[in-house]
Amino acid sequence: MSLWVIQRDLLLAMRRRSDVLTTLFFFIIVVSLFPLGVGPEMNMLRTMAPGVVWVAALLASMLSLGRMFSSDYLDGTLEQMLISPQSLSMLVLGKAVAHWLVTGVPLVLMSPVLGLQYDLSTDALLILTASLLLGTPVLSLIGAIGAALTLGLRGGGVLVSLLVLPLYIPVLIFGAGAVEASTAGLGAGAHLSLLGAFLLASLVLSPWATAVSLRISME
């Protein structure tokens, strides 16, 4: 994999820290608004916690998808990527990994702290974090396909949500389901295994699909 692509995208993210912080603060605020709005009903908060955290993670990761390729597209770097002797799929994989490191990992790290507001048990917090750790890379990888397809379109931001959010649904169901299953005493193993399977499948298929989409968008 192209390590230097990851390095470059991280460097660019460091120079534009506000973009990264916007995503993180969006996540924190959305998750924190629910307990304030719903009220201090412990049982209700405990049941809704996984769903709320996961939906907020989906939206936060969506928020930053537009930036994934657009700046490279506008300054001509993307053209150079298409005619690079290196495999475009590998370059795309590097970009998706960088996107996850910048937007996904901070969410994973913040989720146990935010989970405390919902009175989740230690076990449930651990499962929530594990499910996010397996699920957020899938969001970046699937999102890359949507970002590539809507590249250079007017109103691409709305279109990318319409394209990508339905594809996020399985990740949402099994991610939130993992925590519910573990609190119900069923064990989260099955849900986490399925999330792992999604991750492997998207690792293989998404870079290829994204590379094809980029070539179509750039024609």
A 10 A CB-CB count for 50 gives 27
A 10 A CB-CB count for 32 gives 14
In the numeric block, the tokens 């809704």 are attached to 48
Q: Determine the Cα–Cα distance for residues 36 and 97; give it in Å rounded to an integer.
A: 34
Stretch that binds another protein, among 3-11, 48-56, 57-65, 109-117 (CB under 8 A): 3-11
Helix ranges restricted to H, the chain: 3-15, 17-38, 42-63, 67-75, 77-82, 88-99, 105-115, 122-149, 156-183, 189-218
Binding mask 16-35 for another protein (x = CB under 8 A): x-------------------
Residues 24-83 that bind another protein (CB under 8 A): 71, 74-77, 79-83
Closer to another protein by Cβ: residue 71 or 121: 71
Stretch that binds another protein, among 84-92, 103-111, 130-138, 182-190 (CB under 8 A): 84-92
Closest approach of another protein to the CB of residue 211, in Å: 12
Please say whether the beta carbons of 37 and 144 come within 8 A. Answer: no
Q: Is 153 in the site for another protein (CB under 8 A)?
A: no
Considering just the CA atoms, what is the radius of gyration of the chain in Å? 18
Q: Is 212 in the site for another protein (CB under 8 A)?
A: no
Closest approach of another protein to the CB of residue 7, in Å: 9
Q: Is 15 in the site for another protein (CB under 8 A)?
A: yes
Closest approach of another protein to the CB of residue 76, in Å: 3
Q: Determine the Cα–Cα distance for residues 168 and 188; give it in Å rounded to an integer.
A: 19
Number of residues that bind another protein (CB under 8 A): 23
Q: Determine the Cα–Cα distance for residues 183 and 105; give it in Å rounded to an integer.
A: 24
Check residue 150 and report its DSSP letter: T
Closer to another protein by Cβ: residue 71 or 193: 71
The single residue among 37, 39, 40, 85 that binds another protein, judged by CB under 8 A, is 85
Contacting positions for another protein (CB under 8 A): 4, 8, 11-12, 15-16, 71, 74-77, 79-87, 91, 218-219
